[in-house]
Structure 1
Amino acid sequence: MPVNISETADGKVIEVEVNGKLTAADYDLFVPLTEERIRQYGKISMIIVLTDFHGWEAAALWDDLKWDVKHFTDLERLAVVGDRQWQKGVSAFCRPFTSAEIKYFDWSEREAARSWAGETAPDS
């Protein structure tokens, strides 16, 4: 499975581990869960873990952009975890699509990313 989705016990932080290329079917799993948690909490935080990430299929990229526009203000924090320099650029790529605080973490800092994403942002 190219995408593994998990969440903290309270559901306010969703972790999405991506392996390979994202497909529209992956968004069929991701969107309902995130939208339910946003309805439940108002704002959530996310951790995106990139493992051998190869980008998006065209339909998945469209789904991603639609989700980003719809939920521009619904993310509090977005942690991007990767092990390649270009993946650090993914966090910069996300900036125009969300008002969330975004931070990149190297793979070795995965636990720090989880901790950071679970914190409440100072202006919340």
Structure 2
Amino acid sequence: MDTVRHGISIGIEQSGSDDFFVLIKAVGTLSHQDYEVMVPVLEAALDSVVQPQVYCLVDITEFNGWEARAMWDDLQLGIKHGREFRKIAIVGNRDWHEWMTKVADWFTPTELKYFYQRQEAVAWLRQDES
């Protein structure tokens, strides 16, 4: 039996009292069920801190896209929590990943930047650290 691999993994690290570093890795074609699992984990972490400032590294090197309902879930997540994110670095390896990041940047209230190299993305996120 062939299994199609997809999902969202999330890692959360707190730095100081109100700064979070979040690593999100998207694999395959994301489904509504993937968001049902990931969103409560992210929201629980954000809810535990007053006015969190989130720095996020999103790895989409194995990302193939969304199912329609999952795309809606992603949009809703951005609307609900977009202002809590200080910077989002997107790491990908395809031209359409970069294009998608540029389009998302038009609709996102946070600083968003695309990278082909993870090390450059991490360095950009850490520029604001004291």
Fold match (TM-score > 0.5): yes
Specify the code of the residue in structure 2 equivalent to 1:70: K
CA gap of 1:24–1:115, structure 2 versus 1, over 3 A, is same
Question: Could you tell me which residue of structure 2 aligns to residue 17 of structure 1?
Answer: 25
Question: Could you tell me which residue of structure 2 aligns to residue 48 of structure 1?
Answer: 58
Q: Deviations over 1:75-117 (max 9, x none)?
A: 10010101111111121121233211111110xx202212322
Alpha-carbon RMSD across the aligned residues, in angstroms, is: 2.3
Unaligned stretches of 5+ in structure 1?
none
Verify the 8 A CA contact 1:23 1:57 in the aligned structure 2: yes
State the aligned residue count.
Answer: 120
CA gap of 1:119–1:31, structure 2 versus 1, over 3 A, is farther
Mapped pair 1:88 → 2:93: no
Specify the code of the residue in structure 2 equivalent to 1:21: T
If the length of structure 2 is used for normalisation, what is the TM-score?
0.78
Aligned runs of 1:25-104 on 2, under 5 Å? 25-39=33-47, 40=49, 41-104=51-114
Verify the 8 A CA contact 2:20 2:52 in the aligned structure 1: no
Aligned-partner SS, 1:8? strand
Question: Could you tell me which residue of structure 2 aligns to residue 112 of structure 1?
Answer: 120
Which of the pair has more CA radius of gyration? 2
Mapped pair 1:8 → 2:18: no
If the length of structure 1 is used for normalisation, what is the TM-score?
0.81
Specify the code of the residue in structure 2 equivalent to 1:34: L
Aligned-partner SS, 1:73? helix
Unaligned stretches of 5+ in structure 2?
none
